[in-house]
Structure 1
Amino acid sequence: MYETILVPIDGSEHAIRAGEHARYLAHVFSASVHLVSVADVQAMGGMSNGDDLDEAFVERIEAEHKRAIETSEEVFQGDSIETAVLRGAPADAIVDYADSHSIDVIAMGTQGRTGVGRYLAGSVTESVVRRAPCPVLTTAATERSQLDGDYDDLLIPTDGSEPAAAAVSHGIAIAEAIGARIHGVNIIDADALAPTPEHTAPKRLLDRFKAEGERTTGKIATRATNAGVDVTTSVREGYPTRDLLAYADAHNIDLIAMGTTGQTDLNRYLLGSTAERVIRHAEIPVLAVNARGSMKR
C-alpha cells in the first residue's frame, strides 16, 4: 500500500510523534522514509525578496533545519532514510516534494486541541491536507497517541459520500497488514435534519438516514470481511465530531481514517466541518485521505 513515506520536520514534539507513527507504518509496509525540513528563507528575511539575503544568514537558517532533521533521525535508528533541507514556503515545498518523489503518505505533526487552530487553520498542515497528492497522517503529541505495540482498532467514519469512501481502502489495507479490527461508524446528525431548533427530525426521515447508514457501514463490513479483517459497525444519532471522538475513546481506537474532498472543495468539507474538527481535536492519529488525490494516483 505504502512504499514511500514523507515526514516534514520542524523540531516540535508533534513532528517527532508523527515520525514515530511514520516509522511504524514504514516497518509494516517495508516502506522507505524521507525526512525533510523546509527553510522558508524569504519569510525569515522579512521584506527581502530573498535574492539579496546575506549568505551567512541563509546558511545559519539551513543549519538549524539540518539540526532538526538530525534530532528526528534518532526516531529512525537502524533504518535507511533519505533527508533533505528544502527552500520555499513550507506547504508548497512539502506538496511539491511529495509529488516529485511519488510519496504515498505524508506524516505531519499538529499542535493539537486549541493550539492547532494556529497551526492547522490557514497554515501549513491544513494547506498540505488540502493539496497533497496522497493521504496525510496528522498526529498530536498526546498520551493517547503514544505508540504501544501495534494498532489494534481502526475507525472509519462514513456518511456514504465519495470522500468518505476514499478512506476505506486505506483503513482496510492497514488493518489487514497488522491484524487490526475495523470500526465502520455512521453518525446521523439528527439536529441538522430537524426543520427548526425547537423541533426534532421527522421519524420517517430519521429512518431513511438510519437505513442509509446501515447500507454504507455494511459496505465497509463486506469489504473488510472479504479482506479477512475483523469488523464491527455502528449507526447512531448524535453530533458527528463529538460522538466520533467519544467512540474513539470508548473503543480505544488507535487510528481514524477519514476522507476529505481536497482542493477547492475542501473549504466546504474540511474547514468548519466534521473532518476539520476531528483533525483538530483528536488525541490519536488521523489519516486524512483526499478523494481527488486517490482518484489521480
Structure 2
Amino acid sequence: MIAKVAVTTVVSIHDGGFADRSFDDRTNSDRGWPAASMGMKAVYATDLSAASEAAIETDTCLECLDRIGVDTLHLVTVVPANVHAGTPGIDHEKRRRRALRRYRETIEAAGLEVESHVVRGTPHRRINGIAETVGADLTIVGSRGKRTLENRLIGSTTRNLARTTVVPLLVNRIERETDDPVLIEGQLFRRVLYVTDFSENAERAFEAFSYLRHATREATLVHVETPNSPQPTGDEAPGDRLAELATRLESWDVDATVEVRAGDPAEEIITAEAEYEPTTTLLGSRGQSRLRRLLLGSVSESIVANARGNVFLVPPNRTA
C-alpha cells in the first residue's frame, strides 16, 4: 500500500568504523562530519577477485568517490588464516603483489592517493580495525551475493561488516551471473533512495547527504508505516516530515520526491527500489533495536542481502 505525498520539489569491501558525527544546518566542520573539501579517507576491501577488480577499475566509480570528497583509498586485502605462502601450486604472494600494483596504478590515474594493507585474520574484524586505525570515513566492499559456493565468503564478509562496521559501509553491487563481472551501477550516488523510520540513526543516515550531494542528482525519500512505527516528534505527519527533508535537499540542488508506504518495511523498500531504480539505497543500520550487533536488524540485513543496486549503510556510534 502506498501513499504518495505531493511536494513542489522532485527529490530522487571489506569493513569500517565511524566516529561521532552528526550535524544540522551548521557547517560540516562545526559538527565534525566530512565534507567534499576536507579530504576523506575510504577503506576499499578487496579479495583480488574479478568482482573486486571490476569495482576498482571502473572509472565512474572512482570519479564518484572523488566527487564526494574521498582523496585517499586504503586497499585492504585479508589473507585467510589457512592460506600460506608455501601452499603447493599457488604463488599467492606474487598474485597479490601483481593485482595490488595494477589497482594502485588505476587509482592513482584517477587522481586519488592509495595505500595498501595486506593482513591476516578474520576479514571483517581486520577491515574494521584498519578503518578505525587510519581514521576512515567510509568502507567499501564489493558483493555478488550468494549465487555460488565461491561467493559465500564474500557474502559472509559483507554481512558481518554490515553488522559490525563503525563507519558508513558502501556495499558495491557486482553483476552476479557472469564470469566477467561489472558494476551494476557505476554512478554510485546519482540517484539515491533514502529510507527513514524517523529514528535517531535514520536521521544520522540523512546527514550523509552533506557530502553525497556532490554526486547526487535525484533522491527519493521513503517512510514505511507499520502499526509499531515510531512517529516524528510533535504533531507532524510522516509526509510532512519527509517534505521538510526534501526542502533541505532542494537547497543543495538535489531534486527530491517523497513517498509514504504501508506494509512490511523490508518488502516495501525492495519494491520501492525496483520502482525508482536508484543507484544506491541509503539507510541507517540500527533503527529501534538494541540487539543490532547480533541481529543487524531484519530490515537492514534484508536490504543488504536483497537489494539489486548499491547499499549505503550508516551505523550508530560505536568502536570496533
Residue 189 of structure 1: CA displacement? 3.4
Give the drift of 1:240.
Answer: 1.8
1:87-166 matched pairs, under 5 angstroms: 87-112=120-145, 118-119=152-153, 123-142=156-175, 145-147=183-185, 151-166=189-204
Shift, 1:145, TM fit:
4.6
Shift of 1:180: 1.2
SS of residue matched to 2:109: coil
* Unaligned segments of structure 1, at least 5 residues: 46-54, 194-204
Q: Give the deviation of 1:125 after TM superposition.
A: 1.9
Paired residue secondary structure (1:186):
strand
Contact 2:163 2:294 in 1 (8 A): no
State the match for 1:25 in structure 2: 64
Decide whether aligned partners of structure 1 residues 84 and 157 sit closer, same or farther in structure 2, where only a CA change above 3 A counts.
Answer: same
Q: Which amino acid aligns with 1:265?
A: L
TM-score (norm 1): 0.75
Partner of 2:79: 39
Cα distance, 1:216 vs structure 2: 3.9
| 1:115–1:72 CA distance, 2 compared to 1 (3 A) | farther
Which residue in 2 is equivalent to 1:3? 40
CA offset digits 1:68-88 (Å, max 9, x no partner): 434544653613422221222
Q: Whose relative contact order is higher, 1 or 2, with alpha carbons under 8 Å and at least 6 apart?
A: 2
* CA distance in structure 1 between the partners assigned to 2:256 and 2:265 by the alignment: 20
Contact 1:142 1:284 in 2 (8 A): no
Is the contact between residue 76 and residue 119 of structure 2 (CA under 8 Å) also seen in structure 1?
yes
Are the counterparts in 2 of residues 171 and 257 from structure 1 also a CA contact under 8 Å?
no
Aligned positions of 1:131-280 closer than 5 A: 131-142=164-175, 145-147=183-185, 151-175=189-213, 177-189=214-226, 212-261=237-286, 265-267=291-293, 270-271=296-297, 273-280=298-305
Judge conservation of contact 1:22–1:107 (CA < 8 Å) in 2.
Answer: no
Aligned residue in 2 for 1:66: 97
Paired residue type of 1:171: F
CA contact (8 A) 1:163 1:261 kept: yes
Q: Distance in 2 between matches of 1:274 and 1:88?
A: 29
Give yes or no for the alignment of 1:284 onto 2:284.
Answer: no
User: Which residue is equivalent to 1:51?
Assistant: none
**What letter is aligned with 2:246?**
A
- For structure 2, the residue ranges without an aligned partner over 5 or more in a row are 1-34, 177-181
Shift of 1:249: 2.2
Aligned CA distance change for structure 1 residues 74 and 274 (closer, same or farther; 3 Å): farther
- Root-mean-square deviation (CA, aligned residues, Å) is 3.6
Does structure 2 conserve the Cα–Cα contact (< 8 Å) formed by 1:261 and 1:269? no
> CA offsets, 1:14-70, max 9 Å, x none?
333443475233321252112121112x3336xxxxxxxxx6459944334334434
- Percent identity over the alignment is 20
Once the two structures are TM-superposed, the CA of residue 162 in structure 1 deviates from its matched residue by 1.6
Hey, what does 1:198 align to over in structure 2? Answer: none
Q: Between Structure 1 and Structure 2, how many residues are aligned?
A: 267
Equivalent-residue separation in structure 1 for 2:303 and 2:121 (angstroms): 29
Distance in 1, matches of 2:240 and 2:294, equals: 25
Q: Which has the larger radius of gyration?
A: 1
Q: CA deviation at 1:173?
A: 2.8
Give 1:152 deviation, angstroms: 3.1
Deviation at 1:95, TM superposition (A): 1.0
Q: Going by fraction, where is helix more abundant, 1 or 2?
A: 1
Q: Which amino acid aligns with 2:73?
A: V
- What is the DSSP-based 3-state SS (H/G/I as helix, E as strand, rest coil) of the residue aligned with 1:112? coil
State the shift of 1:224 in Å: 1.8
Deviation at 1:132, TM superposition (A): 2.4
Instruction: Give the Å deviation of 1:8.
Output: 1.0
- Quote the offset at 1:149 in angstroms: 5.1
Q: CA deviation at 1:187?
A: 1.3
Alpha carbons of structure 1 residues 164 and 147: separation in structure 2 relative to 1, 3 Å: same
Paired with 1:115 and 1:282, the residues of 2 have a C-alpha distance of 18
